[in-house]
Amino acid sequence: MQKGKLNVTLDKDLIEYMKGYAEEQRTTVSEIFTQFILTVKRTKEDSSTDIILSDPDFTRSLLDTISQIRSGKMKWHKYKEVF
């Protein structure tokens, strides 16, 4: 998908918070905005993703995986090692 540029004006303290949050989450401010907008879009479109995310086992597994990634406990493998 082709990307474009969007200028957004925010309070300076909110900008600093977003930068710090992005760094803590090992992501970018752009990705945070993207995920937020996709969440709004899916909610509005009544996406079938909600059905998947409503499964308690899936949600638990997803949150566990995210926790391991954030803590650095996740062992990463190169593509050639896996395949």
Tell me what pLDDT residue 50 has. Answer: 63
Distance CA 19, CA 22 (A): 5
pLDDT tens digits, 47-77: 566 666 777 888 888 888 888 888 888 777 8
Predicted local confidence at residue 45, as pLDDT: 65
Please state the rounded mean pLDDT for residues 4-13: 90
Under the banding of pLDDT at 50, 70 and 90, the label for residue 23 is very high
How far from 24 is each of 30, 41, 51, 65, CA to CA, in Å?
14, 25, 29, 16
Q: Determine the pLDDT at residue 73.
A: 81
Residue 13 has pLDDT above 80, yes or no: yes
